[in-house]
Structure 1
Amino acid sequence: MMEDDPVTIHQAMQDPNSEKWIEAMNEEYKSMQDNKVWELVPLPEGVKPIGCKWIFKTKRDSKGNVERYKARLVAKGYTQKEGIDFKETFSPVSSKDSFRTIMALVAHYDLELHQMDVKTAFLNGNIDETIYMVQPENFVSEEPKNMVCKLTKSIYGLKQASRQWYHKFHQVIISFGFETNVVEDCVYHKFSGSRYIFLVLYVDDILLATNNIDMLHETKRFLSKNFEMKDLGDASFVLGIQIHRDRSQSILGLSQRNYIDKVLKRFGMQDCKAGDTPVLRETSSVLINVLKEI
């Protein structure tokens, strides 16, 4: 059964995997330094810096096995003041309905389905405001204590971070010939003769569904050229959803077993017995009829 992730640095240091968490924090901090996310400056008089904290997350594969330990430095955006630290915050995000629709198309038309992850996605977004942040816990400079981080790029936690990242990604992907879906801003498509590819963006997770392998590789190369990407290959575990696929029978199933196991553990029901939930034959035929009309 999966254990809960640490909530604080103190918990992370007391965790059996403390060395892994320290390594993850060092990696995140180095990424911040390499991307020149901030510069240390004296805190201006009369200015109150926003806070920041470390978030710890265990990344797992479709079977629940640990892939890596992730530490992310996030700003305490709830301490930002509108009109001073941020202006606009709205950012579109793809819905679960869009995800399911793409999955149905993948199964029906036997499309290639791959997944990519944008590393430190929000660092690609620029910020228009002047924002001061306290130094990260465990990484405080030996310089005078009144030194703070003057942000030069957006980071996770800022109220405008998601919006800035979306605008950056949108500009880049549109330049490659992709178009936005009329219903979902975070679902893109590109057609070239009989070839086509769909791209679904969910914050920093990207799904690519296509009927042409060359088009898939072209898109991957373009994304990797513009952002620091991690190619995860065939999609099998997306947004906490496990994907089961039998291409010989055009079947694709979605499962959230890991999430259900975690909920059962939280309420002390991990030893309960599972029961079948049959689907009416009439219900199962609805999707097939809809797809035939596409």
Structure 2
Amino acid sequence: MEEEIKALIKNNTWEKRVLPPGKKTVGCRWVFTIKYKPDGTTERYKARLVAKGYTQTYGIDYSETFSPVAKINTIRVLISVAANKGLPLHQFDVKNAFLHRELKEEVYMEAPHGFTESFGEREVCLLKKSLYKQSPRAWFGKFTLAMKHYGFKQSNSDHTLFLKQRGSLITCLTIYVDDIIITGNDKEEITKLKKNLFTEFEMKDIGRLKYFLGNEVLRSKQGIFMYQKKYVLDLLAEIGMVDCKPTDTPMIMN
């Protein structure tokens, strides 16, 4: 929770203001999640502060919220092309993706639970950055503008797919919320794109693609294998067919 608050403050997510007469606040709450490794063991614990969306009014506190996400078929096609052409598959994660765009609406949020001691009487948060309700669309909008600025074209069949071609060389990027996959045969452009993204956004280089949308990705001379051993394990454990031990999981290939 303290790490999340530090990140929110660093990104200038809000300003402390005394609530103006006639204005209402939206609530907030903490969401706790556990990030798992491909083998099912715990990688890290994560806390996120979110505005309570159901207390907001469409057209007043927020407008559009929809944000496209990568189609699984698009991801499979990219991986298939990479396998057939021997192309690299890079994976990146955007840190605090939803805090990368300013809000246009005037939204006041109550002080975060557990940290109210730093707020004065009637002081609340005037949100400057997206916090949940508007976040997905606002983040994707900013990312799209950045990709177009880099010279990439947005696919008409899947808006989360961005392409850039230079003669016979091509670079492909697809994004699912804050997870990014990059592939292509243009090494120079890929290096340039990575530099641009890391300059504009706070990114984490995960390395070669290993785990994406619940699928483990293994590469060998025979090709690329995608399987969901954690998903299968959880499903079998849920119906009582296996004892939930990651090491007991068979390889399941799609």
8 Å CA contact 1:117, 1:205 repeated in 2: yes
For 1:15-58, what per-residue CA distance to the aligned partner results, in whole angstroms no more than 9, with x for missing partners? Answer: xxxxxxxxxx2111101001110011122333331122222222
Provide the C-alpha distance between the structure 1 equivalents of 2:251 and 2:145, rounded to a whole number of angstroms: 47
TM-score normalised by L of structure 2: 0.90
Residues 80 and 218 of structure 1, relative CA distance in 2, 3 Å threshold? same
The match for 2:174 among 184, 194, 200 is 200
Show the counterpart of 2:189. Answer: 215
Aligned residue type for 1:73: L
Return the offset for 1:269.
Answer: 3.2
Unaligned runs of 5+ in 2: none
What is the RMSD computed on CA atoms of the aligned residues? 2.3
Show the counterpart of 2:237. Answer: 265
Provide the C-alpha distance between the structure 1 equivalents of 2:108 and 2:120, rounded to a whole number of angstroms: 16
Show the counterpart of 2:16. Answer: 40
Question: How many residue pairs get matched?
Answer: 251
**Where is the strand percentage greater, Structure 1 or Structure 2?**
2
8 Å CA contact 2:229, 2:249 repeated in 1: no
1:256 aligns with 2:232: no
The match for 2:72 among 96, 111, 114 is 96
Where does 1:77-92 land on structure 2 (aligned, <5 Å)? 77-92=53-68
**Counterpart secondary structure, 1:141:** helix
8 Å CA contact 2:36, 2:43 repeated in 1: yes
The match for 1:150 among 107, 126, 143 is 126
Return the offset for 1:63.
Answer: 2.5
Return the offset for 1:275.
Answer: 9.2
8 Å CA contact 1:93, 1:186 repeated in 2: yes
For 1:42-81, what per-residue CA distance to the aligned partner results, in whole angstroms no more than 9, with x for missing partners? Answer: 2233333112222222223322343332221122112211
Query: Where has structure 1 moved over 6 Å in runs of 4 or more?
Result: 272-279
Provide the C-alpha distance between the structure 2 equivalents of 1:35 and 1:278, rounded to a whole number of angstroms: 41
Unaligned runs of 5+ in 1: 1-24, 280-294
**Counterpart secondary structure, 2:116:** coil
Where does 1:210-249 land on structure 2 (aligned, <5 Å)? 210-246=184-220, 248-249=221-222
Provide the C-alpha distance between the structure 1 equivalents of 2:94 and 2:253, rounded to a whole number of angstroms: 38
8 Å CA contact 1:62, 1:242 repeated in 2: yes
Q: Percent identity?
A: 39
**Counterpart secondary structure, 1:185:** coil
